[in-house]
Amino acid sequence: MARINAPVKNKEELEVEIQDLSYQAMGVAKVEGYPLFIENTLPGEVALVKVTKTTKNFGYAKLLELIKKSPDRIESQNRKYMQTGIAPLGHLKYEAQLKFKQKLIQDLLKKAHLDDIEVQATLGQNPPYGYRNKAQVPVRKVNGKLEIGFFKQNSHDFMPLEHFMIQDPRIDEVLLAVRDILRDYHVPAYNEELNTGVIRHILVRRGHYSKEVMVVLVTRLKDLRQGQKIAQLIQATCPDVVSVLQNVNPKRTNVILGQETKLLAGKETITDTLNDLTFEIGAKSFYQVNPTQTEKLYNEAIKRAHLTGEEVVIDAYCGIGTISLNMAKHAKKVYGVEIVPQAIKDAKENAKRNFLAHNTEFELGDAESWMARWQEKGIKPDVIMVDPPRKGLTESLIESAVLMQPQKIVYISCNPATLVRDLGQFKSRGYEVTQPILPVDQFPQTTHVETVVLMSRKDK
């Protein structure tokens, strides 16, 4: 086993100054150039820490005492939020969170030798709490009682919680009402170790504008005794709950939802609007969890595309059509492609619902294949829109997009690291970033940041 030649030893206690904040929201101190990552510390703070782990290139330490505090620190009223990882930036003032997210992108660009690209100030949210329109909360038995809560970060230690800070406050109220009804009906909570009990999770969705609420009881067994009575009582207690469903997940898995969903009371879906477009949302629908910031994000993407009503647009990760339909209001034609069959079915329905079926086409499959087919048909997009998952774009998709020679490529990213990697790829193929990158804070109190980037083809 290779000897670790670090300037610190395990269990050693030392005083350090925090110099930076990592993308995981851990304070970074340096001992003879050796980085130590320390939870719950901020740049500018001086701390007494205890080394917990060392590797060849970096180590971890635990905070024992804060000797000097940052003026940007918020003394969290509830330490539980920090322990669950629900709000890893909950101890940092919001203005400083926005600067942290801007700097995160700037640092990555610098590392990739792309620091000539400017990054605007992060577009924030006011207030930066209570924004999530969806909650998936585990249920466990604690001291003989059914409880809702969360797990401590990197562990299976369950912590009961009643307020979740970043969720719509009405969702918290509904969760507590459902918890109390399940207790009254003596429904057994799930036991992960033994794979026994009934209720695994409670999922709640709420339409930001419609105010409609959906409750999904995720159960281990198909048979939920008195399920319909429970559902009726949920609706009687919370009149805004228009949909109560049961989802069955018998597997020993971390995946929350199982394959089978059945209606217990009300209707199958709720509706909500996004930039005045109406969407139907089911138990399993992919729908943005922060609608007000999503509206800003999409509007910024449309602004950068400079749509006049004459353009042909390709949306390479169209999902249920949220971006495609937003763009279709301002473009001549939008072609969307997605690999998830249900999403394409939903996208087509959403196009009809919003009277945009005449200038939208949605196809099932991977974007590379469809781009090749569209090219063969002589379709020439003016704008290609991409909003990929965290892993970013594949090289083949970048190649396919460039081959179509659009004047503009608009990239919405949920992962700055893969965004910066992909920008380098586009640059080498003749596209350049022509406006400062805009970070949008979709998930306040967390380290996640969305970005909107406009790239234009260099005229040869």
Domains of the chain, by residue range, sit at 13-73, 134-274, 290-457
Q: How confident is the model at residue 382 (pLDDT cuts 50, 70, 90)?
A: very high
Fold: same for 13-73 and 134-274: yes
pLDDT digits 0-9 by tens, 93-136: 999 999 999 999 999 999 999 999 999 999 999 999 999 999 99
Angle between helices 94-111 and 416-428 (to 10 degrees): 40
Q: How confident is the model at residue 81 (pLDDT cuts 50, 70, 90)?
A: low
CATH number for the domain formed by residue range(s) 290-457? 3.40.50.150
Q: Is 233 helix (H, G, I), strand (E, B) or coil?
A: helix
CATH 1.25.40.90 fits 13-73, yes or no: no
Task: Tell me: pLDDT of 424 over 70.
Answer: yes
Q: How confident is the model at residue 78 (pLDDT cuts 50, 70, 90)?
A: low
Q: Is 387 annotated as a binding residue?
A: yes
Q: Is 338 annotated as a binding residue?
A: yes
pLDDT digits 0-9 by tens, 136-153: 999 999 999 999 998 887
Task: Tell me: pLDDT of 2 over 60.
Answer: no
More confident residue, 436 or 254: 436
Length of the chain equals 460
**Catalytic choice (46, 379, 414, 417):** 414
CATH number for the domain formed by residue range(s) 134-274? 2.40.50.1070
Output phi, psi for 242, to 5 deg.
Answer: -100, -5
Joined tokens for residue 371: 């781009």
Q: Is 317 annotated as a binding residue?
A: yes
Task: Tell me: pLDDT of 331 over 80.
Answer: yes
pLDDT reported for residue 1: 43
Q: Average pLDDT of the chain?
A: 93
What is the pLDDT averaged over residues 287-291? 92
**414 tagged catalytic:** yes
Q: Cβ-count burial of 108 within 10 angstroms (0-12 exposed, 13-18 middle, 19+ buried)? A: buried
- Residue % of the chain over a pLDDT of 70: 97
